Chain A
Amino acid sequence: MSDLECVVAGIRSINPFWLASAPPTDKKYTVTRAFKAGWGGAVWKTLGADPPIVNVTSRYGVHRSADRKIVGINNIELISDRPLGLNLKEIEEVRREWPDRIIIGSIMAPIDEQAWKELAIKLANAGVHGIELNLGCPHGMCERGMGSAVGQVPDLVRQTTRWVKEAVSLPVFTKLTPNVSDITIPAEAAKLGGADAISLINTVNSITSVDLDRMAPTPTVDGMGTHGGYCGDAVKPIALHMVAEILRAEETRGLEVSAIGGIGTWRDAAEFIALGASGVQVCTAAMLYGFRIVEDMIDGLGAFMRDKGYRSIEDFKGLARAKVVAWNDLNMNYDLKAVIDEKACIECGRCYIACEDTSHQAIRIDVKPDGGRRFTVVDADCIGCNLCQHVCPVSDCIEMKPVANGLAPLTWPHHPKNPMKAAE
């Protein structure tokens, strides 16, 4: 049995699967159900100072794929709408009843030192393992100068992080919004403020759809809608990029990352860990399918590690990070050609039309004696772009074969066609 134990910002967790601060971690009842299912930790739904906020209805919109699967959710729910005291009491109870599970207290306050510090101390006194600063919520709270309104101003990120670090001696996670142009800037600010880890991504600003009958965005509240926070499968590529940027940038070296964004399976989690994340947080998948999904996340990650011979999370954490480089560092002499396996081909023609209308017109159709069609790649025209392989519905039908051209690696800064070529 592989050991899934991991350490995130000094906090030892039985597995890397935590629930993110969100509706599923709103109360003792649901967090208890999550821990029964096997989650290693939970970031309690963000708490603010009393009086609690008031929510609207409806709150969720969804983006679907053609087969009606939900690929993304958008929400306009605010932070916890329950009294602070009740939440603190429940946190204490859960900490007592589940001593081997992690509870992180997520907080949000206006730009006011006292407010941040008081909240952090109250959470610390309730027994949380760490504090997460919600500087990412992109809807509602930002209009009151909180959430992403803070996360988008590096100085405020640094300052709030600093305030909380001064108030408590617990690990501090600064949760960032992806709604910025360069994620390393607020991440660096968090580091300067003393953050132990970055949690990201928070949700992406979005309108999920427009109801063409009501001529209104969804989710619709009495005929009107507003932008909300987008999450789920669809945002995973954005999250992977931002996690990688923070973990490889010089300015943010040393920061740990608790990765969030479209994680629903063990494979998603393994990808973030491979980029260097210390642990992961999950929300949307649990909202859609329930806490039981963690069972396969635990089982699947363990099986993957056994297959690959990794005895611990540390064994493969960050193994892919060094492979994320700048475009300028890519080898321009590397060449691929698509090869179509005629026996596996089902003759759908998808590769042909993709190449014909987008790429380099490198696939030829011949009519076979039986009336069927044979699709062949014309090597001279194939630029190895991969589009045909991606659109092919048959796995292993189109193979991208490296060309043994014998050329030494060459990057753009040294390329003869580069007018700005570095002097050699």
Chain B
Amino acid sequence: MTGKRIRTRGDEGELSRASIAANFGDLHAPLSEAQAVVEAARCLYCYDAPCVRACPTAIDIPTFIHQIRTGNVDGSARTILSANIMGGTCARVCPTEVLCEEACVVNHTEDAPVKIGLLQRHSVDSLLAKGGPHPFRRAPDSGFRLAVIGAGPAGLSFAHRASMLGHHVTVFERDEKPGGLNEYGLAAYKMVDDFAQAEISFLLGLGGIEIRAGKALGEGLELADLLRDYDAVFIGVGLARPAPLDIPGRALPGVRDALDFIRDIRCAPDKASVKVGRSVVVIGGGNTAIDAAVQAQCLGAEQVTLVYRRGRTEMSATGWEQELAASSGVAFRLWSAPVAFKGEGALAAAEFAATRLVEGTLTLCEQRAQIPCDMALIAIGQTLGETLAAASGLAVKGGRIAVDANYRTSLPGVYAGGDCIGSGEDLTVQAVEDGKRAAIGLDRELRARGKGGRR
């Protein structure tokens, strides 16, 4: 387990404000310049490197690390950002232990891979801190005007690449601030110092991108209108609706969606002001469940229990995330599925059924157990929501917007990417890649058909 240790009630009883603030500080200390150079020297500078193949955005990792080694840190940031314009966020939140760092060949010669994530952060942060002109240039104006729905990683990545290719892009965002999950949905200790907004203002430094906040699809913003006013539309709306958990007591005060809890923390200038229960139950096995559980500990909950219906190996949270939770004092209760929330007017306990696999199918057993709690956070995933696709006439596959290999939806001129299409793991880095590739594909299509041509 690397990174800092979170202070919990177990350490000091009631957490002081200072401890809470420290808990929400940077999970990993950034590398100093000297540390970065030494770490970079561990890289073998592989040819056709496995780490590159493991990166959804195919960042040329050996090259950017070589550039750190030679002292060309700006160049190294350009190498990263040319493949992944949100390389700063990805360096912070990517599960590198199952991507580039798992593929790192140094795992075979030493007991730890090259710290690719931390090196990437070093480069990008250094470039952003320097300020200066945006490192990329826009192609001559194509005359095409594109609309993007959703200013999350997919939408912004699309917007940046499309603008580089010469198109004018307008991004419509439901929330007050752009960023999507980068701004509202990731643990605060991974995105300190308002990094999501810093990265977005850097990204917008390219020019040619306009953001219109407070505009949600179906709430005054209609796909048909966008198709009329723009040459093409990219949908990057993510999965906005919590997956339903229809069990008794779901409406009791104290039962919340985990993403709402995380959002409250991200929006609070003073983290200590966010209400947390004394005894918190988190339901789910993904990284969002971990982010919620660990942050409940950060806020000073007495007892945090993460409940998952299957075993540890089936959790979609990576081993590293699970270990972070465990070392932060989060208790795991596995093979347990929620059946009811109990309480008179307010949550008092969560009731679980033991589960087991019967011929490969998860089955609830008779056995029941209750965990007393005054807060339950539900993190069993999100869905597209039924209204969006239906109202727009978009074909849906497996609960996500159906797209072809070029990110085209069933509607001509409408592209989609990110979590709403399910192109792979629901990861920031995958959303960035989707946006980038969709922009490149759409650019080819627009140039082939010409201005005013048929979609």
List A residues at the B interface (Cβ < 8 Å): 65-68, 346-350, 352-353, 365, 371-373, 393-394
Pairs across A and B, CB under 8 Å, 18 listed: A65-B41, A66-B37, A67-B37, A67-B38, A68-B37, A68-B41, A346-B105, A347-B50, A348-B44, A349-B46, A349-B47, A350-B44, A350-B47, A352-B47, A352-B48, A353-B47, A393-B44, A394-B109
B49 at the interface (CB under 8 A from A): yes
Interface residues of B in 33-61 (CB under 8 A from A): 34, 37-38, 40-42, 44-50, 53
Q: Which residues of A contact B53 (CB under 8 A)?
A: 371
10 closest cross-chain pairs (CB), A and B: A349-B47, A67-B41, A353-B47, A346-B108, A66-B41, A346-B105, A348-B46, A348-B105, A348-B44, A349-B46
Cβ-defined contact, A346 with B109, below 8 A: yes
Q: Tell me the bound Cα distance from A259 to B40 in angstroms.
A: 36
Q: Which residues of A contact B48 (CB under 8 A)?
A: 349, 352, 365, 373
Cβ-defined contact, B49 with A349, below 8 A: yes
- Quote the shortest CB–CB distance from B74 to chain A (angstroms): 15
Cβ-defined contact, A68 with B46, below 8 A: no
Given contacts A347-B50, A348-B49, 11 further A-B contacts (CB under 8 A): A65-B41, A66-B69, A68-B38, A346-B109, A347-B105, A348-B46, A348-B47, A353-B47, A373-B48, A393-B44, A393-B109
Q: Tell me the bound Cα distance from A66 to B109 in angstroms.
A: 19
Q: Which residues of A contact B109 (CB under 8 A)?
A: 346, 393-394
The contact size tier of chain B is: 10 to 19
Q: Tell me the bound Cα distance from A334 to B109 in angstroms.
A: 33
- Quote the shortest CB–CB distance from B110 to chain A (angstroms): 10
A-B contacts counted at CB < 8 A amount to 44
- Quote the shortest CB–CB distance from A59 to chain B (angstroms): 23
Q: Tell me the bound Cα distance from A353 to B44 in angstroms.
A: 12
Q: Which residues of B contact A349 (CB under 8 A)?
A: 46-49
Q: Which residues of B contact A393 (CB under 8 A)?
A: 44, 105, 109
Cβ-defined contact, A68 with B34, below 8 A: yes
Q: Which residues of B contact A365 (CB under 8 A)?
A: 48
Interface residues of B in 191-239 (CB under 8 A from A): none
Question: Interface readout for B21-42 with A: 1 if CB under 8 Å, 0 if not?
Answer: 0000000000000100110111
Cβ-closest chain A residue relative to B69: A66
- Quote the shortest CB–CB distance from B115 to chain A (angstroms): 14
Q: Tell me the bound Cα distance from A149 to B181 in angstroms.
A: 72
Q: Tell me the bound Cα distance from A214 to B69 in angstroms.
A: 21
Cβ-closest chain B residue relative to A68: B38
Q: Tell me the bound Cα distance from A393 to B105 in angstroms.
A: 10
Cβ-defined contact, A350 with B41, below 8 A: no
Q: Tell me the bound Cα distance from A348 to B106 in angstroms.
A: 9
Cβ-defined contact, B46 with A350, below 8 A: yes
Interface residues of B in 98-119 (CB under 8 A from A): 105, 108-109
Q: Tell me the bound Cα distance from A353 to B108 in angstroms.
A: 20
Task: Point out the residue from A67, A350, A352 that lies within 8 Å of B45, measured CB to CB.
Answer: A350
Cβ-closest chain A residue relative to B37: A68
Q: Tell me the bound Cα distance from A65 to B34 in angstroms.
A: 13
Q: Which residues of B contact A66 (CB under 8 A)?
A: 37, 40-41, 69
- Quote the shortest CB–CB distance from A351 to chain B (angstroms): 9
Cβ-closest chain B residue relative to A395: B109
Interface centre among A346, A347, A348, A349 (most CB of B within 10 A): A348
Cβ-closest chain B residue relative to A65: B41
Q: Tell me the bound Cα distance from A346 to B49 in angstroms.
A: 11
Q: Which residues of A contact B41 (CB under 8 A)?
A: 65-68
Q: Tell me the bound Cα distance from A41 to B47 in angstroms.
A: 49
Q: Tell me the bound Cα distance from A282 to B69 in angstroms.
A: 31
- Quote the shortest CB–CB distance from A108 to chain B (angstroms): 39
Cβ-closest chain A residue relative to B103: A347
Q: Which residues of B contact A371 (CB under 8 A)?
A: 53
Question: Interface readout for B80-124 with A: 1 if CB under 8 Å, 0 if not?
Answer: 000000000000000000000000010011000000000000000
Q: Tell me the bound Cα distance from A372 to B41 in angstroms.
A: 24
Q: Tell me the bound Cα distance from A19 to B42 in angstroms.
A: 33
Interface centre among A67, A352, A371, A372 (most CB of B within 10 A): A67
Q: Which residues of B contact A346 (CB under 8 A)?
A: 105, 108-109
- Quote the shortest CB–CB distance from B64 to chain A (angstroms): 15
Q: Tell me the bound Cα distance from A350 to B38 in angstroms.
A: 20
Q: Which residues of A contact B40 (CB under 8 A)?
A: 66
Q: Tell me the bound Cα distance from A67 to B65 in angstroms.
A: 13
Q: Tell me the bound Cα distance from A394 to B110 in angstroms.
A: 10
Cβ-closest chain B residue relative to A353: B47
Q: Which residues of A contact B69 (CB under 8 A)?
A: 66
Q: Tell me the bound Cα distance from A352 to B45 in angstroms.
A: 12
Q: Which residues of A contact B47 (CB under 8 A)?
A: 348-350, 352-353
- Quote the shortest CB–CB distance from B100 to chain A (angstroms): 14
Q: Which residues of B contact A394 (CB under 8 A)?
A: 108-109
- Quote the shortest CB–CB distance from B390 to chain A (angstroms): 39
Q: Which residues of B contact A348 (CB under 8 A)?
A: 44, 46-47, 49, 105
Q: Tell me the bound Cα distance from A169 to B389 in angstroms.
A: 103
Q: Which residues of B contact A350 (CB under 8 A)?
A: 44-47
Q: Which residues of B contact A65 (CB under 8 A)?
A: 41
Cβ-closest chain B residue relative to A371: B53
Q: Tell me the bound Cα distance from A65 to B48 in angstroms.
A: 25
Q: Tell me the bound Cα distance from A79 to B48 in angstroms.
A: 53
Q: Tell me the bound Cα distance from A178 to B50 in angstroms.
A: 45
Q: Which residues of B contact A352 (CB under 8 A)?
A: 47-48
- Quote the shortest CB–CB distance from B46 to chain A (angstroms): 4
Q: Tell me the bound Cα distance from A173 to B69 in angstroms.
A: 44
Q: Tell me the bound Cα distance from A347 to B53 in angstroms.
A: 13
Interface residues of B in 360-394 (CB under 8 A from A): none
- Quote the shortest CB–CB distance from B402 to chain A (angstroms): 27
Q: Tell me the bound Cα distance from A68 to B50 in angstroms.
A: 26
- Quote the shortest CB–CB distance from B384 to chain A (angstroms): 31
- Quote the shortest CB–CB distance from B65 to chain A (angstroms): 11
Q: Which residues of A contact B37 (CB under 8 A)?
A: 66-68
Cβ-closest chain B residue relative to A357: B47
Q: Tell me the bound Cα distance from A352 to B105 in angstroms.
A: 15
- Quote the shortest CB–CB distance from A391 to chain B (angstroms): 9
Q: Tell me the bound Cα distance from A172 to B45 in angstroms.
A: 51
Q: Tell me the bound Cα distance from A373 to B49 in angstroms.
A: 10
Cβ-closest chain B residue relative to A66: B41
Q: Which residues of B contact A347 (CB under 8 A)?
A: 46, 50, 105
Cβ-closest chain A residue relative to B50: A347
Q: Which residues of B contact A67 (CB under 8 A)?
A: 37-38, 41-42
